[in-house]
Chain A
Amino acid sequence: MPSNKSVSDAPIIQFTDCRILREHKLQREDLWVRDGKILDPEKLFFDEQGYADCRLDCGGAIVAPGFIDVQINGGYGVDFSQPCEDVSAGVSLVAKKILEHGVTSFCPTLVTSPPAVYHQVLPQINVHNGGPDGAGVLGFHLEGPFISSEKRGAHPERFLRTFRSGGSDDLMETYGSLDNVAMVTLAPELPHSQSVVSTLRQKGVTVSLGHSVANLSQAEDAVRHGASFITHLFNAMLPFHHRDPGIVGLLTSDQIPAGRTVFYGMIADGIHTNPAALRIAHRAHPSGLVLVTDAITAMGLPPGRHTLGQQVVQIQGLHAYVAGTKTLSGSIATMDMCVRHFKQAADLVLLDDGLRVRTTYISGEEVWRAEL
């Protein structure tokens, strides 16, 4: 039965026989979409007197919002931090492939690199919506170079930087332009970081704390200035200590300004964090948890040696190390693997009970389907 088209000519799609995540529970409800937006069917019924133009039987699957990956360094042989002729081809390849994992939007992540790389890469990719060709790009996530030397992890030491007097001057000198940037990870203990945090916030860029040896008060100060995210909690920061919880303490800090939430990324690949630590973080601050893959070039590729930014890494099984060391260097888990591992917990993903992705939709249009 078609809609009466009193509000819009766009067809109304009704996803039936599915379970949707609503009010933090899986409920058996139909999902209605028009023009890439989710509709309130009750409003549709009484206000517009409309109903579905076409029905899609989901066969009992779970309909989940499309996954958003805010920390992904590359995959399938593509390394976003490796400057090359055609950056957009690499981003497009990854964007297309990650549809299979249910990811419908992502932030291509650049690790610490020399200014030349940022100047070359950043202008080549614009923020854009997803579609049949691939997941949407929300903007770059610039992880570094304003990070702590001690907690640099796999980032190359020679390209680390500090803020000299103005702070913002260093930003523009290093990155060139912030137009296509969605998020910046920095270490708040670096002198003059406060004004940088405020500046980034004003420009609409999310500031994330990470790769840092900050104590809790330095972290809280950064949050007061506008920081709202923590990069891969527990990794590349001081461990939680009961007399100085460090950045981890932000999860339960009472110094967070009213109305604001501190979100924290976690790599739930079973390697970067012990599941017990994952649970502690979740129980302390469930509404702030964000799953990220922090996937690197090798994601989707067979074991061996690959490049990550200016470094070389070694893949062994599901582990990725800086070649010749035991320092973890990003993960090769896919987003749906992370979701399964975490086990709880217009852009939609159809999952079966094992949380395996069956079909991916962007704006109500099917963009990927699993072979059965």
Chain B
Amino acid sequence: MRLVILDDYELASEWAAKYIRNRIVEFKPSADRYFTLGLPTGSTPYGCYQKLIEFHRSGDLSFKYVKTFNMDEYVGLPRVHPESYHSYMWNNFFKHIDIDPANAHILDGNAENLEAECNAYEQKIAAAGGIELFVGGIGPDGHIAFNEPGSSLVSRTRVKTLAKDTIVANARFFGNDLSKVPTMALTVGVGTVMDAKEVMILITGAHKAFALYKAIEEGVNHMWTVSAFQQHPHTIFVCDEDATLELRVKTVKYFKGLMHVHNRLVDPKMSLDDSYW
């Protein structure tokens, strides 16, 4: 894996956004060959989305030939509810960029047949040629998307019941009223994300530090589902100082020492001529 450590949330968001920008630009997407991007929601990726919008506004990045697949969506929450992931993606990303609405895919938590919806989603991803880059976050309980502790590490898109930890963590978006938080969600599986060519996990804040430790310094364990990515050939963890608080000094020093290499990945020059490196 690459562990990219930035000083704070803003710098981590910027690094991640630049990386996504570079990957899309290098890929040179076109009408015949779309760039497929997996996307998360929540407070962690918010800064990254803001930066991507900035790049788009300044003319450095177009989403015209990008297809997106979000990781998850609540079950039973009306799409127009301000806390639905559809609302999040519209307000924080889609309405500010030039993506074709037909290429923005989000699971429908109000579908008649949830299982069919999940299977169809897997097929859509396959039809799009698989995901080039799947961006995700990590829950305080080490989950990726809504793959709660105990989820199979080879799972596919399906309905999941949320763990107590997750419901408590989300209560702040529902007026701190636990009874208003949805209890079920549709989510891509660990296996679904593992199928992507590349995975980038954003982790910021001290409250995620223990989960990061469990994910990268302990073994692969279905109780900390992000740990599955230890077995993916191309994983990048992007984090801020606070998220590294539970890691060994040795780990942090090693990866900080590699920052000069990591920073080349987000260098604008990289996008023009990748044979340079």
Interface of A with B (CB < 8 Å)? 1, 4, 30, 41-46, 48-51
Contacts and interface: CB of A to CB of B under 8 A. Distances in A.
27 contacts: A1-B98, A4-B102, A30-B95, A41-B90, A41-B95, A42-B86, A42-B87, A42-B90, A42-B91, A42-B95, A43-B80, A44-B101, A45-B94, A45-B95, A45-B101, A45-B104, A46-B79, A46-B86, A46-B90, A46-B101, A48-B101, A49-B100, A49-B101, A49-B102, A50-B101, A51-B100, A51-B101
Nearest to A41: B95
Contacts of B95: 30, 41-42, 45
Interface residues of B, number: 13
Contacts of B104: 45
Q: Is the interface of B mostly helix, strand, loop or mixed?
A: helix
Given A46-B79, A46-B101, A49-B101, 8 more contacts: A4-B102, A42-B80, A42-B86, A42-B91, A45-B90, A45-B94, A48-B101, A51-B101
A51 B102 CA distance: 10
Interface of B: 79-80, 86-87, 90-91, 94-95, 98, 100-102, 104
Contacts of A43: 80
A45 B87 CA distance: 11
Task: Kindly name the residue among B87, B90, B101, B102 whose own CB sees the greatest number of chain A CB atoms within 10 A.
Answer: B101
Contacts of B90: 41-42, 45-46
Nearest to B64: A1
Contacts of A30: 95
A45 B95 CA distance: 9
Nearest to B80: A42
A167 B80 CA distance: 50
A46 B90 CA distance: 9
Contacts of A46: 79, 86, 90, 101
Contacts of A1: 98, 100
A46 B100 CA distance: 11
A48 B100 CA distance: 11
Nearest to A3: B101
Nearest to B101: A49
Nearest to B98: A1
Contacts of A49: 100-102
Contacts of B91: 42
